[in-house]
Each structure stands twice: as C-alpha cells, then as structure tokens.
Amino acid sequence: GCTRGDLLDQLLNLMNSVYVPVALADHGWPDNVRKEFTSQVQKFMSTVTEMSYMSKGKTVLYIPQDNFDNPESAAKDKDIVQRLEMALIHWTRQIKEVTSQQDSAHEGEHNGPLDEIEFWHARDNNLSRLHEQLQSAKLQRILTILEYAKSAYLDQFRLLENDIKAGTIEAKENLR
C-alpha cells in the first residue's frame, strides 16, 4: 500500500517534472489568467514541498522554478515581486517554526547527556540543511530581486537568516 508520505512524494515529483514546467510555459493565456495560475501553482508547491519533507522530519524551502536571468528587470514586475514575497513569507514562517520548535524542545526535560547530544545533533542537521538552502544560488537570486524591489519583508527574513547561521554554529560547537 501507499502511505501518505509516499503519495506526497509522488505528487511532488509529478508536479515538479510535469505541471510546474507547463505552468511556467507561455501558452498565450491572458495575463491575468497566467499570473493567477502561476501564483496558485507556487502556493500549492510550497505547501506540498513543506508537507512532503515535514513527514521525514526535514525542513525544505520551496524555491520557485522561474528563470530569473535579469534580477533588475524581474524586480520591476510587480506580479513577480508579489509572488516572490509570497514565497519569502512562507519561508519566514517555516524558519520561525523550526527555531521555535527547537527552542521549546530544548527547554523540555532531558533524561541525561545522551538526550542533550541527540538534541544538538538534530538541531545541527536541521539548521545546517536550512543554512545550505539559504546559500543556494537560486534562493540568493530571489533575495537579490526582492532587494532591487525594496521589499518590506526582506529585513525580517535577513534577521532570521542570521539566526540560522548563529544557531548552526552554536549546534556544531555544542557537539564538540
């Protein structure tokens, strides 16, 4: 039989390999239809990606698959900026959830040193994975577009980015 996780993985693969490329292709649709459809596909992909990896205990940020060869030009398109801000808001929520879950888990009762080591190991894995994603060229290009667009959501995200970096260093030091 199929488990919920298997179905989500299959849906994610199908969407990424078939439907997202179709959604991004030019079909000659009216602008408002294309923009709304692309926005809804991105929102759906953010949720499916999050759920698929959450079932494995991982935090993965969905990065829109658009080809942004010219960040300055993309920053002038209000619909693109709006979609990218939607992604940024989703990432912000995901990162806040990870950091607050891990902080509250650490405040809980520990039975001993092995629990402490396990906590720091799990924190290191999750934060390192997030830090790696935040450094990816595609995600950095999106942040560059939002910088050019002077997005109001960027400052808060940059603070979280620094928290992830600091948390990754702290977790690695506590595992020594």
26: region left, alpha or beta (phi > 0 left; psi from -120 to 50 alpha): beta
**Burial code of 43-61, b = ≥16 C-beta within 10 A, e = fewer?**
ebbbebbbebbeeeeebbb
For the entire predicted model, the pTM comes to 0.85
DSSP H helices, 55-112, are: 71-75, 78-107
**pLDDT reported for residue 119:** 83
User: Residue 98 corresponds to which tokens in the numbers above?
Assistant: 């990870």
**pLDDT reported for residue 109:** 61
Q: 100-146: per-residue pLDDT in tens?
A: 876 666 666 667 888 888 888 888 888 899 999 999 999 999 999 99
At which residue do the structure tokens 């603070």 appear?
159
How many Å from the N-terminal Cα to the C-terminal Cα in the chain?
A: 43
**pLDDT reported for residue 126:** 86
pLDDT along the chain (176 residues), means of 10: 75 91 85 89 94 89 90 94 96 90 64 82 87 94 97 95 87 83
46 neighbors 88 (Cβ within 8 angstroms) = no
Q: How far apart are CA 143 and CA 37, in angstroms?
A: 23
**pLDDT reported for residue 1:** 56
